[in-house]
């Protein structure tokens, strides 16, 4: 059995699976139940000045028979008194001393406010701090959350304020609602952050009720933009993690967040540079016990690969992730259709004919009347669309075809033509 222990910027955890700051970490009761189920750490629901939440807070996107492909929320930070939260956090840490307990914090843009809350939460023995610069709704309108996270200078400044008094590692949680997340990640690093976590939720409107014409969700006839999360955001989150992991100007550990629903998702984030992962929506959908499958799946995967520790896979795929200009223009793949498993649904032909490069022909045997699908490989551009739409796994195979030409990237081509400035 592999060693699943991680060390994120000095924060020890029995495994890489943490609960993200969200409704599942709203109370000591919940966090203790999560630790009993097997979660390695938890980021407490964000602490700050007292707020008032509304009812009708969540809405979900269901698609193709899958429930909760995406989740939208308009819930704010904790609405419970700070003293009550601190008391429960101290009890959690007393009962689970070897699990990672992180305090998520959000206060107004004042040095003394940050100093005060940092000292209060560290006094009860938390293992680290997570500064919430990502919440896109409600708090952002008050100059906090993503209102800070969208400005690198503010991120840098507030991290510096926190680091003036913090005695535990500081993680900065970043918003995806920005042109390039690397700039705020760099600012966090420059300010002294020990790690970054990403992504927080994405600005969204889940939908509109076609009968009432009201936004979904609505509060007494009015709606507001909320934060979008769940499986649908995973590709966005994974890209942002990878971009920061390969940026030497960031240069600090990453806690990966966004659409992680099972052990496979977690491994992808680890391979792309995350030291550990945080989970929210999957727990809201299925409960704390999903961590059992996550731990078992990760253990089995590492054992099958002959890998002794989960830390040995962190960042192993980062070097293969690059910019488009570094891709080999002379690499060629084509589609091949295996007749023995083809069910002749013709979805590949339709997709190619209507949306791609018209290189899949329907060939009819005049004697038997049977039709078969054939790819004209000389016209195939290897786009993968036919493989993607095929309902029978493995029936359409993408095969590399030698071109007899040496590797050539766009950047190399431009340089050879003297077109690089």
Together in a domain, 121 and 262: yes
Cα gap 322→29, rounded to integer Å: 44
Burial annotation 65-94 (CB, 10 A radius, 16+ → b, else e) = eeebbbbbbbbbbbeeeeeebbebbbebbe
pLDDT above 90: residue 234: yes
Q: Answer whether residue 138 shows pLDDT above 80.
A: no
Match 């962190």 to its residue by tokens: 314
Instruction: Tell me, yes or no, whether 349 and 235 share the same domain.
Output: no
**Predicted confidence band at 135 (pLDDT cuts at 50, 70, 90)?**
confident
d(C-alpha 421, C-alpha 85), whole Å: 57
- Residue entry with tokens 């054992």: 303
| Boundary-marking domain end, from 261, 285, 320 | 320
- Provide the 8-state DSSP code for 374: E
CATH number at residue 102: 3.20.20.70
Q: What is the pLDDT of residues 7-38, one digit of tens each?
A: 999 999 999 999 999 999 999 999 999 999 99
> Is 386 found in the same domain as 243?
no
For residue 140, what are the CA distances in angstroms to 93, 136, 191, 199, 203?
30, 6, 21, 16, 11
Element holding 100 (H helix, E strand)? strand 100-106
Residue-range definition of the domain harbouring residue 358: 333-417
Pair 177, 136: CB distance under 8 Å: yes
Q: How confident is the model at residue 295 (pLDDT cuts 50, 70, 90)?
A: very high
Do 15 and 158 reside in the same domain of the chain? yes
Q: What's the structural domain count of the chain?
A: 2
- Verify that 13 and 145 share a domain, yes or no: yes
The CA distances from residue 374 to 258, 335, 336, 353, 379, in Å, are 40, 9, 8, 13, 12
Are 318 and 403 in contact, with CB atoms under 8 Å apart?
A: no
Indicate which residue of 135, 380, 386, 390 is catalytic: 135
Please state, in angstroms and as integers, the Cα–Cα distance from residue 206 to each residue in 107, 225, 304, following that order: 28, 8, 41
Tens digit of each residue's pLDDT (9 = 90 or more) over 39-52:
999 999 999 988 88
Compute the distance between CA of residue 372 and CA of residue 375 in angstroms, rounded to an integer.
10
Cα separation, 180 vs 53, whole angstroms = 31
Could you tell me if 178 and 186 are in contact, meaning their C-beta atoms sit under 8 angstroms apart? no
Residue 327 lies in a domain: no
For 335-389, write each residue's pLDDT tens digit.
Answer: 999 999 999 999 999 999 999 999 999 999 888 889 999 999 999 999 999 999 9
Active site annotation includes 135: yes
C-alpha gyration radius of the chain: 25
In terms of domains, do 222 and 316 share one? yes
pLDDT digits (tens, 9 = 90+) for 300-330: 999 999 999 999 999 999 999 999 999 999 9
What CA–CA distance (Å, rounded) separates 396 from 388?
9
Q: For 198, list phi and psi in degrees, rounded to 5.
A: -160, 145
Q: Which residues contact 370 (CB under 8 A, 6 or more apart)?
A: 364
Same-domain pairing of 226 and 373: no
Q: Is residue 328 part of a domain?
A: no
Domain termination residue (choose one: 320, 355, 380): 320
Domain annotation covers residue 199 = yes
User: How far, in Å, CA of 126 to CA of 188, rounded?
Assistant: 21
pLDDT higher than threshold 90 for residue 134: no
Confidence category of residue 142, pLDDT binned at 50, 70, 90: confident
């Amino acid at each position: 059995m592999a060693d699943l222990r991680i060390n994120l910027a000095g924060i020890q955890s029995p495994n890489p699976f943490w609960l993200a700051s969200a409704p599942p970490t709203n109370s000591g009761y919940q966090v203790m139940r999560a630790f009993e189920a097997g979660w390695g750490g938890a980021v407490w629901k964000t602490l700050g000045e007292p707020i008032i939440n509304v009812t009708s807070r969540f809405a979900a996107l269901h698609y193709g028979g899958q429930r909760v492909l995406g989740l939208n929320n308009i819930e704010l930070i904790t609405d419970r008194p700070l003293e009550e939260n601190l008391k429960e956090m101290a009890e959690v840490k007393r009962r689970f001393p070897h699990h990672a307990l992180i305090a998520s914090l959000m206060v107004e843009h004042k040095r003394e406010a940050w100093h005060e809350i940092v000292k209060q939460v560290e006094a009860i023995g938390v293992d680290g701090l997570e500064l919430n610069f990502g919440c896109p709704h409600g708090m952002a309108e008050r100059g906090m959350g993503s209102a800070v996270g969208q400005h690198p200078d503010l991120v840098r400044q507030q991290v510096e304020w926190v680091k003036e008094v913090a005695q535990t590692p500081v993680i900065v949680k970043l918003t995806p609602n920005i042109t390039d997340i690397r700039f705020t990640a760099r600012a966090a690093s420059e300010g002294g952050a020990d790690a970054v976590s990403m992504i927080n939720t994405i600005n969204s409107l889940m939908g509109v009720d076609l009968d009432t014409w009201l936004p979904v969700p609505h509060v007494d006839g009015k709606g507001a933009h909320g934060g979008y999360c769940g499986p649908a955001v995973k590709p966005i989150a994974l890209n942002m993690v990878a971009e920061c992991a390969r940026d030497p100007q960031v240069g600090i550990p990453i806690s990966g967040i966004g659409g992680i629903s099972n052990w496979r998702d977690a491994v992808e984030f680890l391979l792309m540079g995350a030291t550990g992962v945080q989970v929210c929506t999957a727990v809201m959908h299925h409960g704390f016990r999903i961590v059992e499958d996550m731990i078992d799946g990760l253990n089995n995967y590492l054992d099958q690969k002959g890998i002794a520790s989960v830390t040995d896979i962190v960042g192993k795929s980062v070097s293969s992730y690059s910019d488009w200009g570094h891709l080999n223009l002379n690499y060629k793949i084509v589609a091949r259709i295996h007749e023995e498993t083809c069910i002749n649904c013709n979805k590949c032909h339709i997709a190619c004919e209507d949306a791609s490069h018209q290189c899949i022909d329907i060939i009819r045997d005049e004697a038997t009347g049977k039709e078969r699908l054939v790819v004209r490989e000389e016209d195939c551009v290897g786009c993968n669309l036919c493989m993607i739409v095929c309902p029978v796994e493995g029936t359409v195979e993408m095969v590399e075809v030698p071109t007899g030409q040496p590797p050539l990237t766009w950047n190399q081509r431009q340089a050879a033509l003297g077109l690089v400035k």
